[in-house]
Amino acid sequence: MESQSNYQMKAVNGDFGYVLEDVPHLTDYIADLPTYPNPLRSNSAYSVVKQYFVHVDDSVPQKIVVHRDTPRGVHFRRAGPRQKVYFSSDEVQACIVTCGGLCPGINTVIREIVHSLDYMYGVKDVLGIDGGFRGFYSKNTVTLTPKTTNDIHKRGGTILGTSRGGHDTMKIVDSIQDRGINQVYIIGGDGTQKGAAVIYEEIRRRNLKVAVAGIPKTIDNDIPVIDKSFGFDTAVEEAQRAINAAHVEAQSAENGIGVVKLMGRYSGYIAMYATLASRDVDCCLIPESPFYLKGKGGLFEYTEKKLKENGHMVIVIAEGAGQELLAAECQNAKNEQDASGNKLLEDVGFWLSERIKGHFAKLQKMPITLKYIDPTYMIRAIPSNASDNVNCTLLAQSAVHGAMAGYTGFTVGLVNGRHTYIPFNRINERRNKVVITDRMWARLLSSTSQPSFLGPKDAEKAETEQVPLTPMVDDGENHEGEKTGN
């Protein structure tokens, strides 16, 4: 096997097109590190498990659907406990930081990191960083113990606080060094994982024995490579309550329309899954699929048709959808960003509701009753559901096993149902988006019967790009964009 490495990724090539996109290890830049037998060897809960320890060569394929002659392709290192660890229990000074927007399950991840470090590895020193990245250099830390974190998974939000902006690499790494921290657990979304990558690089430049582990958090489910991010299931489930309310309101009025705005700045996964789950939604609008209001095949025409057929209609719109339409109409539209550099969006749900009301008022022959529901923060501020709690637990345990085993510069994530360590650059190179020429979006279109809104121009564009609008045969591609569907 040949291997080539840089700060972020070690690509190891094997036979039949096998590639391991490996994560860095402390021994890549620090020589002669001592090792210790994994304390789990004498842990009564785990010692009875046959093959509890992960084999050093275990890896997980990124592409699970293959043909007979397909090369073996990209693999990621399998997560889990190793026979040897690179930290003794009393040497570890860990810290946990949470950044970016809230998401159900953050507290569960915090709890499980603290509990796993203590109960599995005998680590007692765990610090919480207060209020996101800037907390490293502008606030005091909090001590985290199994006792103080025992029931935090029942609460929404993050007990540590979070923030956007404030990422100052030098100050953060100075603080890590000054406090003697040697394991850093960073819970956050795409922005946070970019921040984690530069922290890791600076730590490596300074030759510090500090493991940096990312745990991906995003309610938008827009982190690439991984199957699904924690909290997503909970959010989709909670969104059902808003959609149900919109449906009840719409059904109970003559020509009733319910409009629900859901999260999704750049990716419409929550809207798509909430729509597919509900069956009460007649139209789902997401950032990836441009739509138009007037004329043939437009939203107004479809709304009139639905009201005539059913007497009511439910529309789900992701907050990032239709922003270009809105900007074209509002002269004084702001082009602002939040402290992390994310685009600040106009309220597209309110805008759409007003435009629909205006259209039917002009028509005169069809009076409507429209109710607009914006449950955004209610959806992300709740505790995680049972399935996400288990998901969070396994992610936290995998992160702890990885750091104890000396891996660094990695994000832990589920790939094809297995926990893996993924190099930061793979997580940070792009954003996961709904692919509107893939099967999942086709399923949605077929379940709502909404128009595809692909005007002649879009169809032409798709044709010139040679993207099949409705693939009739299985092309065998495991499109990353449809990670949460197949």
Ligand X SMILES: O=P(O)(O)OC[C@H]1O[C@](O)(COP(=O)(O)O)[C@@H](O)[C@@H]1O
Ligand Y SMILES: Nc1ncnc2c1ncn2[C@@H]1O[C@H](COP(=O)(O)OP(=O)(O)O)[C@@H](O)[C@H]1O
List interacting residues with ligand Y (CB under 6 A): 99-101, 132-133, 164-167, 188-192, 194-195, 198, 218, 340, 342
Instruction: Decide whether 247 or 380 has the Cβ nearer to ligand X.
Output: 380
- Flag whether 164 is marked binding: yes
Instruction: Decide whether 38 or 342 has the Cβ nearer to ligand Y.
Output: 342
**Using rule CB under 6 A, residue 414 touches ligand X:** no
Select the residue interacting with ligand X from 100, 135, 214, 481 (CB under 6 A). 100
Catalytic residue among 22, 118, 125, 220: 220
Select the residue interacting with Mg ion from 190, 233, 237, 319 (CB under 5 A). 190
Instruction: Decide whether 95 or 440 has the Cβ nearer to ligand Y.
Output: 95
Query: What is the number of the residue whose Cβ is closest to Mg ion?
Result: 189
* Shortest CB 10 distance to ligand Y, Å: 22
Instruction: Decide whether 132 or 383 has the Cβ nearer to ligand Y.
Output: 132
Sketch the per residue contact string, 25 through 44, with ligand X: x for CB under 6 A, - otherwise. --------------------
**Using rule CB under 6 A, residue 24 touches ligand X:** no
Enumerate residues 172-211 that contact ligand X by CB under 6 A. 189
Told to judge if 90 belongs to the known catalytic residues of this protein, a careful annotator would answer no
Binding partner of 78, given Mg ion, ligand X, ligand Y, none, CB within 5-8 angstroms per partner class: none
User: Which range binds ligand X by CB under 6 A, 59-67, 80-88, 131-139, 261-269?
Assistant: 261-269
Binding partner of 39, given ligand Y, Mg ion, ligand X, none, CB within 5-8 angstroms per partner class: none
Residue by residue, what is the 3-state secondary structure of the chain? CEEEECCCCEEEECHHHEEEEECCEHHHCCCCCCCEECHHHHCCCCCCCCCCCCCCCCEEECCCCCCCCCCCEEEEEECCCCCEECCCHHHCCEEEEECCCCCCCHHHHHHHHHHHHHHHHCCCCEEEECCCCCHHHHCCEEECCCCCCCCHHHCCCCCCCCCCCCCCHHHHHHHHHHHCCCEEEEEECHHHHHHHHHHHHHHHHCCCCCEEEEEEECCCCCCCCCCCCECHHHHHHHHHHHHHHHHHHHHCCCCEEEEEEECCCCCCHHHHHHHHHHCCCCEEECCCCCCCCCCCCCHHHHHHHHHHHHCEEEEEEECCCCHHHHHHHCCCCCCCECCCCCECCCCHHHHHHHHHHHHHHHHCCCCCEEEEECCHHHHHCCCCCHHHHHHHHHHHHHHHHHHHCCECCEEEEEECCEEEEEEHHHHHCCCCCCCCCCHHHHHHHHHHCCCCCCCHHHHHHHHHCCCCCCCCCCCCCCCHHHCCCC
Select the residue interacting with ligand X from 109, 113, 203, 219 (CB under 6 A). 219
- Flag whether 265 is marked binding: yes
- Flag whether 366 is marked binding: no
- Flag whether 100 is marked binding: no
**Using rule CB under 6 A, residue 288 touches ligand X:** no
Would you list which residues are annotated within the binding site? Answer: 101, 164-165, 189-192, 218-220, 263-265, 319, 377-380
Query: Which residues of the chain form contacts with ligand X (CB under 6 A)?
Result: 100-101, 103, 189, 218-220, 263-265, 319, 338, 380
Q: List the catalytic residues.
A: 220
Would you list which residues are annotated within the binding site for ATP? Answer: 101, 164-165, 189-192
Query: Which residues of the chain form contacts with Mg ion (CB under 5 A)?
Result: 189-191
